[in-house]
Amino acid sequence: MAATGAEKSQNSAENSALAVRLAREITGDVFFDEFNRGRYATDASFYQMMPLGVVVPRTMDEALRTLAIAGDAGRIVTPRGGGTSQCGQTVNEGIVVDFSKHLNRVLSLDVENRTCVVEPGIVLDDLNRQLKKHGLWFPVDVSTASRATIGGMAGNNSCGGRSLRYGTMRDNTLSMDAALADGTLLHFGEVPRDLARVNSPDSGLALFRDMLDLGKREAAEIAERFPQVQRRVGGYNLDALVPRNAANNMAHLLVGSEGTLAFTTQVELKLWPIIRNKVLGVCHFGNFYEAMDAAQHLVKLRPIAVELVDRTMIALGREIAMFQPIISTAVRGNPDAVLIVEFAEEDQAENQRRLKQLGELMADLGFGWDKPQRKWGGVVEITEPALQTGIADFRAAGLNVMMSMKQEGKPVSFVEDCAVPLPHLADYTERLNGIFEKHGTRGTMYAHASEGCLHVRPVLNLKLEKDVKAMRAIAEETFEMVREYKGSHSGEHGDGLVRSEFHEAMFGSRIAADFREVKHRFDPDNVLNPGKIVDPPKMDDRSLFRYPPDYRIGELKTALDWSAYPGAGGGFQGAVEMCNNNGACRKLEGGVMCPSYRATRNEKDVTRGRANTLRLAISGQLGPNALASDEMMDTLKLCVSCKACRHECPTGVDMAKMKIEVLAARAATHGLSLRDRLVGYLPRYAGLAARLAPLANWRNGNPSLRKLLEKFAGISAQRALPAFRRDVFRTDAEAFGPESGREVVLFADTFNRAYERENLDAALRVLVEGGYRVHIPKPADHARPLCCGRTFLSAGLVDQARAELDRLVATYAPFAARGVPIVGLEPSCLLTLRDELLSLRSDNDAKSIGMHALLFEEFLVREAEAGRLRLPLGSMPAKALVHGHCHQKSFGAFKPVEKALRLVPDLNVEIIESSCCGMAGAFGYGADTYEASMQMAELSLLPAVRGADQATLIVADGTSCRHQIKDGSGRSALHVARVLAMSLDRAKSNSPLSSHAKEPIHG
């Protein structure tokens, strides 16, 4: 029955009072606004439930205080870690408590006994980084290790790829401390069945006694109805209560309970020695059934994992830049499936022996490279650690690789991780494919073949009622088949909203009643994450879907080309909806994505949070005109347009490009700020500013002008702006070098031309001395110098950017038409020709320019590898510390930087493992973003630079990067072109290296 107006008003007043009280008593973040609530309304499932509010407590006491305050107000509470659940475990309509930002410490570590105690918000990878120096790790190695929290893993009873050896989360959890819904704090650990000498309050002892009695009473039923497979994580772990031993571990009842029984405060874990040696055998199969049938035989060699990758995943991986080289090396031909078999014994000789046995076993099973399709196959041995890591990363990204399909239908998780005994695996998968075909779809399969638990996702469009009906039919038929094989309908990812409905069919009515009894005994008022495991809604209740029946997106006028995707706005809708909340953007180390999240740890500032907000905005769920709203700008404020998500997000969410659309909508609705105009129109006034350089630079030396510009233009008074100079880079001639030399166009970008001409001088000299015919063509319209339009894009001025690129295309097209490389120094400018240009123009001239656009180092390395580069480089017995520009990394163009520097004899090249420098064009100059900019730089870049001695060369290709390094460390960084020019000088002179490092080099 719908609420009346009076009831709604009362609820609103009560909610406001609750928000005020929480904000008053909690020092952490308290969110009750639509935008922040929306960011917590989804997890990695297809569900969406708008929470009443969100609390991000700073301490565990604040988390418990939140539980108490919510209880006083009669509101439900849902604990949340990384928010990566596949089944809707971490979405609900009450108060969401986010443990991941602050409650993430290692509380104690016992190296000798190999145990540790942690707070529930610690991320698995972060924990293992801290354990590594002690030779230990926590081996429940889930594919989401870069963002999965220990609390969430305990809630779902996570398994990981190596559970064949190490077991599940339950097997590695020694104890847990947790609060009941009424605030009672209890220690859940091993207890004797008579509860003698258990240190617990009377209420705790009574609870434990009731649970042990239930286990004794239901022992026979549990033995009969619980699946006898290791990967059974459905329902409550009542088997932990059965009287088998002298003691029972009460924590194992909490593991897998999905936050429905108690509020975890700390977890004690069992640790293992780190894996030191391993080898992989990639077993190829021409027939999928044969691969599944072989799994039961391969495990007899006692590997620690046997992981499946099917032909669909291989094909999708070949389309993802970061995985292409891995697949080309590890995969031979076009197999229907591969099984990745991992051996990791302490003795590497033993690993090699088993790898040899693997090849022999495959032959004994009748497989060979020369056999017909059904028995075609063999083993590719992988012993190189770097390639092993790449394969592991590809396998770990499997769920999201599957989701990278650019179409309305996506692989949907609901029968995802059923587990069956290995002898039945081949028949199960064959029958499962038959079910999919019967309902007009197909499925993707991969993952844990060693334990009969495959990640299976049929392709469906859950915006369509017919596909929702097909989903339900597939679920019912699949679960019936799983029961027939005495398997588990929930083998890894838990129950949540997807599978809880089917517990009674799976376990029987008596066990289902036991589940309800456990829930009521722990949480009689149903406060903790209701609707999961017991008393769930229907799994196909579309009102709980991310795309409910009334989900609509009106036609959008977009500025860029999104035609590779479906949906409104010429495909903009489909691009936004590519985010499936997998949370890979929440990783804290490795790669670049997402630098702002690494600095703030806020859901608002991560790619996933931004994509969710965009989806809610364009679908009208955040009110009218949300796309151009102040709240949307705040959502994107810390996005530095690094483009890392374009490369590192497994589903290819390109937030930098999406931000341009938002900025364009904002500019069209609200106009431009003074700062937008100063930044956007820089290429138009740079020439005038150069002629008036002393006046243009006056602000830098005048504190009053700095403060004035901060007040009226939002440019931080703490920053010195790049200094204009009168001797800008300009040439009278349009070609340099020998007429017979191989042709190349040098793109003189605005930043290097106006501020750091030394880089262009050095690049021109290097190319000419290398024997190239270097063209620097004048614009076809004979007006100001060429520009890529990037500054205009950063202000949302898409039409002006298009006009700049039109001039550039008109000038460069004749060169591209005859195959001449177009070489640039500034990554953000040159790579615009490979990215945004093609989103603004789809003609052949634009495509040709994009194909021929190369960064300076890419060109030199290509020439060197082809044997065409002839540079008389001199020895430089020094060290170069190198920071990569985000766009170089996004386009796979950073490795050539390292290779180009290694052309210099005796130069020791070391890479800084850094994310974004934090300057990011105009971002670091903003008064409102200066602090975030410095936080990003301080994560790894600036400490590494400060730690370098003065003789070390600091190398950075990006204009912004060099300025950030100078501002934050006082050190001057060099473009690679200048380092190579210095090396040319060393070949001709014995002058000290330091003199070249200090003085500009002119070509």
Residue 993 pLDDT > 60: no
* CA–CA gap between residue 67 and residue 38 (Å, rounded): 21
pLDDT at 409: 87
What mean pLDDT do residues 567-592 have?
94
Respond yes or no on whether the N-terminal peptide bond of residue 594 is cis (omega within 30° of 0).
Answer: yes
Residue-wise burial string across 217-234, b where 16 or more C-beta atoms lie within 10 A, e elsewhere: ebbeebeebbbebbbbbb
DSSP 8-state assignment for residue 342: E
Closest CA to 465 of 567, 553, 545: 545
pLDDT of residue 246: 74
* Residue 214, amino acid: L
Phi–psi pair at 896, nearest 5 degrees: -60, -25
End-to-end C-alpha distance for the chain, whole angstroms: 80
**Cα 1000 to Cα 1003: distance, rounded to the nearest angstrom:** 10
The mean pLDDT value for 291-310 works out to 94
Tell me what pLDDT residue 1000 has. Answer: 34
Alpha carbon distances (Å) from 350 to 135, 345, 932: 21, 7, 50
Predicted pLDDT of residue 990: 61
d(CA 203, CA 521): 11
Q: What is the rounded distance in angstroms from the CA atom of residue 178 to the CA atom of residue 174? A: 13
Predicted confidence at residue 834, as pLDDT, reads 97
How confident is the prediction for the chain on average, in pLDDT?
A: 93
- Give the up-direction half-sphere exposure of residue 586: CA atoms within 13 A in the CB hemisphere: 26
pLDDT reported for residue 417 = 87
DSSP category for residue 871: -
Each residue of 591-615: pLDDT tens digit? 899 999 999 999 999 999 999 999 9
Task: Tell me if 794 sits within 8 A of 685, measured CB to CB.
Answer: no
DSSP string, 43-74: -SSSBB---SEEEE-SSHHHHHHHHHHHHHTT
Mean pLDDT over 554-565 rounds to 93
- DSSP class of residue 120? T
pLDDT at 399: 62
What gap in Å lies between CA 473 and CA 470, rounded to an integer? Answer: 5
| Nearest residue to 476 via CA among 384, 387, 540, 425 | 540
DSSP string, 290-328: HHHHHHHHHGGG--SEEEEEEHHHHHHHTTSGGGHHHHH
Instruction: Specify the pLDDT at position 160.
Output: 83
Q: What is the DSSP string of 260-291?
A: SS-EEEEEEEE-EEPP---EEEEEEESSHHHH
Under 8 Å between Cβ of 235 and 153: no
CA geometry: angle 695, 926, 34, nearest 5 deg: 150
585 contacts 146 by C-beta, under 8 angstroms: no
Place of tokens 């032909």: 311
The pLDDT tens digits for 169-213 are 999 999 999 999 999 999 999 999 999 999 999 999 999 999 999
Look up residue 53 and give its amino acid.
G
- Percentage of residues in the chain having pLDDT higher than 70: 97
Write the CA distances from 282 to 341, 359, 391, 401, 675, integer angstroms: 6, 10, 10, 19, 55
Task: State the greatest distance between any 2 C-alpha atoms of the chain, in Å, as a whole number.
Answer: 95
Shortest CA distance to 887 belongs to which of 830, 972, 955?
Answer: 830
Q: Please give the C-alpha separations between residue 615 and each of 412, 577, 610, in angstroms, as whole numbers.
A: 19, 7, 9
Beta-strand pair 95-98/53-56? parallel
Strand partners, 382: 280
CB 262 within 8 A of CB 186: yes
Confidence of residue 143 (pLDDT cuts 50, 70, 90): confident
Hey, what are 899's tokens?
């290779």
* Contact status, residue 655 vs residue 607, Cβ threshold 8 Å: yes
Q: What is the pLDDT of residues 66-119, one digit of tens each?
A: 999 999 999 999 999 999 999 999 999 999 999 999 999 999 999 999 999 999
Amino acid at site 713: A
pLDDT exceeds 70 at position 952? yes
Q: Distance between CA 77 and CA 522 in Å, rounded?
A: 14
Give the pLDDT of residue 3.
60
What single string gives the DSSP state of each residue in 156-195?
HT---TTHHHH--TGGGEEEEEEE-TT--EEEE-EEETT-
Average pLDDT of span 489-500: 92
Q: Which of 709, 885, 681, 684 is nearest to 796 (CA)?
A: 681
**Of all residues in the chain, what percent are helix, strand and coil, respectively (each to 5)?**
45, 15, 40
Instruction: Judge whether 964 and 933 are in contact, CB under 8 Å.
Output: yes
pLDDT per residue as tens digits for the range 964-985: 999 999 999 999 999 999 999 9
Sign for the CA dihedral angle at 996, 997, 998, 1002 comes to positive
Top mean-pLDDT range of 10-19, 195-204, 645-654:
195-204
Query: What mean pLDDT comes out for the span 245-262?
Result: 94
Six token digits for residue 423: 């002898």
Give the pLDDT score at 345.
Answer: 94
Single pTM value for the model: 0.92
